[in-house]
Structure 1
Amino acid sequence: MLVFIFFGYLSINFPLTGDDLNWGITTLRDYFGSGRFLNYDGRYAGNSLIIMASHSAIFKVLSYAGITTLVVYLGARLISNVRQLERNTLLVLILMLTMSTELFAQVLGWNAGFFNYMAALVYPLIIVNLVKYHYSDWQAPKYLRYSILIVILSIISCFFVEHVTLLNLAIATILMGYMLYQKKKNYLVIANFIGTYIGGILMFSNRAYLNILLHHDGYSYRETSFSLSKIYHIIAQQMDFYLLINNPIITVLLAIILGYLIIKNLQKRSGNKWGTVVSYLELSVLIAFTEYHYILFNTLLKNFSHRYLVSCLLSILFLLVIIIEMTKLSLETHNIEYIALIVAAVVLVIPFFVVTPFGPRGAFASYFCLCLLVAALCDQLNAVKFSLPIIRIMMVMIVIFYAGLATRIGHASRIKNDFMTYQEKHNTPKDYRLYLEVPYNQYYWAVHPQAADNSYRGYYQIQTAGGKLVPYAKWRLIEKNTNSNAEMFSQVLKVDSQNK
């Protein structure tokens, strides 16, 4: 409940921005009735959610809070039993909220990003939880009646973002292969397989994907390229930064935990020469990756011409070390989730090797897999038990930070809208409009400058094209020295006229 309230509060205060506003001037009837959906993309569910959210504040808040709470809960549930659920939920939540600022802005600070990239995670987490805890139950004939629900949900799950749809298809295929290997009918696996493949076909039959592949897409920013130089550029200067380097908390924690596991294994097999050599090489990679990116990259090596090449190689080696160690841990513990999480994280970014654009939001699903992996490793090492007081303190600090941030952003956004209404009503100034700056724009995704945002003007039906930005510090000072919004608005206009 507290998690739901927290994210509900964030949603109340984070404004509609960018594509949110563009979706806000259309309706579901227009979207589906005009045939636009046939040529834009196959994200029918995600686009429908943002259209509804941009028209209903209540729906936006409840769905935003509900989806995020569900994702955090299902993620924590996947890595723990009921007794450990509360503490692992806190850990998953903390790790998720310590994501990079740009990742936060494009997923939690942007509704169009949220309803595609966050909402897409709900179904795969549901299906994996069902498989982990209730697989044998679904072999009973009485579960056949629930299969239709799984079919419907699995179809809908394919209408969010493409790389998660591909993950859903991979999960469905692996589960079907496992069922056939076991030679025991499982209604969950069958229903999920049928629904996911129907959904995948429906998504990728959208004409937009063929147009992108043939370079005929009407949206110039979307393209495919199999050029090795382009792939290298994406990996070296985008992918490794969005997923790993720009998220130092998760990567350093992974390096520390992996280092501990490697040293622990070294003590066990001191007589294994080749195993010892591999372990020392792995430790060297962990140290080199951390030191290179967080100490040398922007200091001593700032002018090094091949620094991105080295960064790319170290990032690949870092992921390889994780894969090797998680494979060994999964074999030792007979628990597949360790290797499954890191493989899922890698699989989720592979499509972006050839399909662009790849923004920070494209790395979110992989980042969340890394959060779950760290939480699972802490659970395995029983580290959470000893650090629970620290985790609680960190959670309180993070909540205070984001609540304070959201409060200031929400207040500024509402004042900005009220001031715009005031200017429209009084038609002043005559030739332009004043836009009160909403602060901390690094935490919410806004493509256009605030005083020249065509999407904002279209959504709020502002006819006057010209705009001037009033800095946050400037209008906040005026607000503190006035007694009402009307008085403040009048004073802002007066100051502007004096500065002409």
Structure 2
Amino acid sequence: MKRTAKLSFYFVLFIIFGLIGMWMPLLGDDLHWGTYFGSNYFPNGIFTYYDGRYLGDLLVIMMTKIKTVAFLAYGIFPTTIVYLIQKIREEITPTKNIGLVSSAIATTAILLSPVMIFKQILGWHAGFANYLPSAIFPLFMLYLVLKNYENKHVHYYRTQMVLIFLAAVAAQFFAEHVTLLNCFNVVLVWIFFRKHFGSEFKKVLNLILGGNFLGAILMFINGAYIKILFGSDAYRSVSGSGTKDTLFHYLRITYTPKHLIIVGTAVLIFSIFTIFYSLKLKNTKQKIANFALLLSTYVVIAPFIVVSPFGSRCMFASYVFLVTIFAVNFDIFFNNYGKILLPLFGLVTLILGVRMDYLSHDYGQTFDMQIRYSQYQNTITRDTQYFLQYRNDRYIWMTGPIQTDNNFSELYVTHKDRNMVPINYYDWTDAQRKLKNKRFKNQTDYMKAFDKQILKKVKLIQAKEK
């Protein structure tokens, strides 16, 4: 019964996250990854000098070309993170009842991620492909450490060891800062904890050590990083902390001083509380988990003090580590109240999931209609090109309005000398509703009728303005 309930819970999460990925529009770099650039990336050897995120790049190419892959990726990777957070909690101390409170809290926190993080991770395929899967291996490593700490009887089959080694290598091909974190963590574990492991896991640990460093070497021998070191890369650089889009500069120009003070103070208080709370704990595994996660939170983001560009997506791993600390400790502290907490957080998760699926579906429909309408306008003669606006850009990564998006224009706008005019979301959806119950012979007839409705809206708007 418990097994069925757990499987059902994670299956629901898989569907919720998967639908977000399947319906989210392609934005910014996504459009190029999904067309000519992505098609030529590996066959033409672009990957040898673009960056070392080989698996992340492969994933974004497949996601932007095939919706089923986007559904599977969005479903699998976030659900895996949530699952690992629950496993970490269960390795610290046994759960009472079904034991999914940590999972529910973690899912709620991911769906309620700060908007700037959400839109660059779940609202942007290119951000998702590199920054979300990369957060999995540090959690997996922590789970292995807790599982094998002072446990000399854990046995690993050869197949398991090979798979762990391959995972250690593969984990290094998503995001550079997490690649460095993985190397940092495995060295730390090897130095300070290997005496607490049995002979079997020591072999596994050595494989992880070798795999992480092999993967890091394969990543950083990419031609892109040589250009970065010599300052000849137009996009990325290693420089002083006050220049370009490094961590502190980005925070200073993106957020208000009041916002920075509030969030910075909250994170500092949480960190200090975690340290003192952990020092008083009698459960050694819980101490290890808390200190490891807190240290990883700061280590993973530290390179961006001098490395640019930095974006909110780079904070995702740190956010996940902080969420893990909260979810695990909250769950353990209120272990006796699992029967109350699980339905509560489960309901919140479901509500948030349905809401985000609804918004994603709306974003996706707008994107699809935008393409269809642009392609229709390419076939007619006039001086104006109309662009359908999104309901909002709160949860998607738009660097500017669609009518000024060069990526979109390059692919879907033929007459670039036209006057580019935006059409408000509620105006064009109203035009669409008026055609809902009418029948059309083909797509072209439908778009003609839709275009007439848009022109009527434009005339009404112009009349009101006069």
Where on the TM-score scale, by shorter chain, does this alignment land: which range? Answer: 0.7 to 0.9
Q: Secondary structure at the match of 1:442?
A: coil
Of 443, 466, 473, which residue of structure 1 is paired with 2:395? 443
Q: What corresponds to 1:394 in structure 2?
A: 348
1:373 aligns with 2:294: no
Matching residue within 469, 476, 489 for 2:429: 476
Distance 2:269 2:295 in 1: 13
Once the two structures are superposed, residues 239-279 of structure 1 have per-residue CA deviations (whole angstroms, 9 ceiling, x without a partner) of 8988xxx9xxxxxxxxxxxxxxxxxxxxxxxxxxxxxxxxx
SS at match of 2:394: helix
Q: What's the counterpart of residue 343 of structure 1?
A: 295
Match of 1:211 in 2: 227
**Match in the other structure for 1:285:** none
Map of 2:6 onto structure 1: none
- 1:261 aligned residue: none
The answer to whether residue 36 in structure 2 is matched with residue 23 in structure 1 is: no
Please list the CA deviations of residues 428-474 of structure 1 after superposition, one character each: whole Å capped at 9, or x if unmatched: 243453221122212111223201222123444x3222432211121
Deviates more, 1:109-118 or 1:324-333: 324-333
Q: Partners of 2:362 and 2:264 in 1: how far apart?
A: 41
CA contact (8 A) 2:111 2:353 kept: no
Q: Secondary structure at the match of 1:444?
A: coil
Q: 1:312 to 1:101 in 2, by over 3 A?
A: closer
After TM superposition, list the pairs within 5 Å mapping 1:62-461 onto structure 2.
Answer: 62-80=72-90, 81=94, 83-133=97-147, 136=151, 140=155, 143-178=157-192, 180-182=194-196, 185=199, 186-219=202-235, 222-227=236-241, 229=242, 234-235=247-248, 238=251, 297=258, 314=265, 317-318=268-269, 321-330=272-281, 334-335=285-286, 336-382=288-334, 385=338, 386-424=340-378, 427-460=379-412
Deviation (angstroms), 1:326: 4.5
CA contact (8 A) 2:32 2:38 kept: no
The aligned counterpart of 1:491 is: 453
| One of 8, 24, 37 as aligned partner of 2:47 | 37
Shift of 1:182: 4.9
Task: Give the counterpart letter for 1:470 in structure 2.
Answer: I
- Counterpart CA distance in 2 for 1:233 and 1:455 is 25
**How far is the alpha carbon of 1:111 from its aligned partner?**
0.4
Offset of residue 131 of structure 1:
3.1
Q: Is the 8 A contact 1:330 1:339 kept in 2?
A: no
Q: Residues 52 and 173 of structure 2 are in contact (CA less than 8 Å); yes or no, is this contact kept in structure 1? A: yes
Rounded Cα–Cα distance in structure 2 between residues aligned with 1:327 and 1:86: 23
For the structure 1 residues 28 and 413, does the alpha-carbon distance in structure 2 shift closer, same or farther, using more than 3 Å as the test? closer
Aligned CA distance change for structure 1 residues 392 and 179 (closer, same or farther; 3 Å): closer
Q: Among all aligned residue pairs of Structure 1 and Structure 2, give the percentage whose two residues are the same amino acid.
A: 27
Any conservation in 2 of the 1:95–1:371 contact (CA below 8 Å)? yes
Secondary structure in structure 2 of the residue aligned to 1:358: coil
**Kept after mapping to 1: 8 A contact 2:104/2:342:** no
Aligned residues: 431
Partner-residue secondary structure (3-state), 1:443? coil
Q: Is the 8 A contact 1:323 1:343 kept in 2?
A: no
Q: Which residue identity lines up with residue 443 of structure 1 in the other structure?
A: Y
**1:264 match:** none
User: Structure 1 residues 179 and 234 mapped into 2: Cα distance closer, same or farther (>3 Å)?
Assistant: closer
Alpha-carbon distance between aligned partners in 2 of 1:191 and 1:348, rounded to the nearest angstrom: 22
Please tell me the residue identity of whatever aligns with 2:450.
Answer: M
Change in Cα spacing, 1:232 to 1:377, as seen in structure 2 (3 Å) is farther
Which whole-Å deviations, capped at 9, do the CAs of 1:309-337 have from their partners, x for residues lacking one?
x6698468536514532441456655211
Paired residues of 1:238 and 1:358 also in contact (CA < 8 A)? no
1:407 positional shift:
2.9
Whole-angstrom CA distance in 2 between matches of 1:319 and 1:210: 38
**Which deviations, in whole Å up to 9, do the C-alpha atoms of 1:105-159 show, x marking residues without a partner?**
000000000011111122232333233225657865x634432222222111101
CA distance in 2, matches of 1:205, 1:480: 55
Counterpart CA distance in 2 for 1:456 and 1:3 is: 32
Could you tell me which amino acid in structure 1 is paired with residue 366 of structure 2? Answer: A
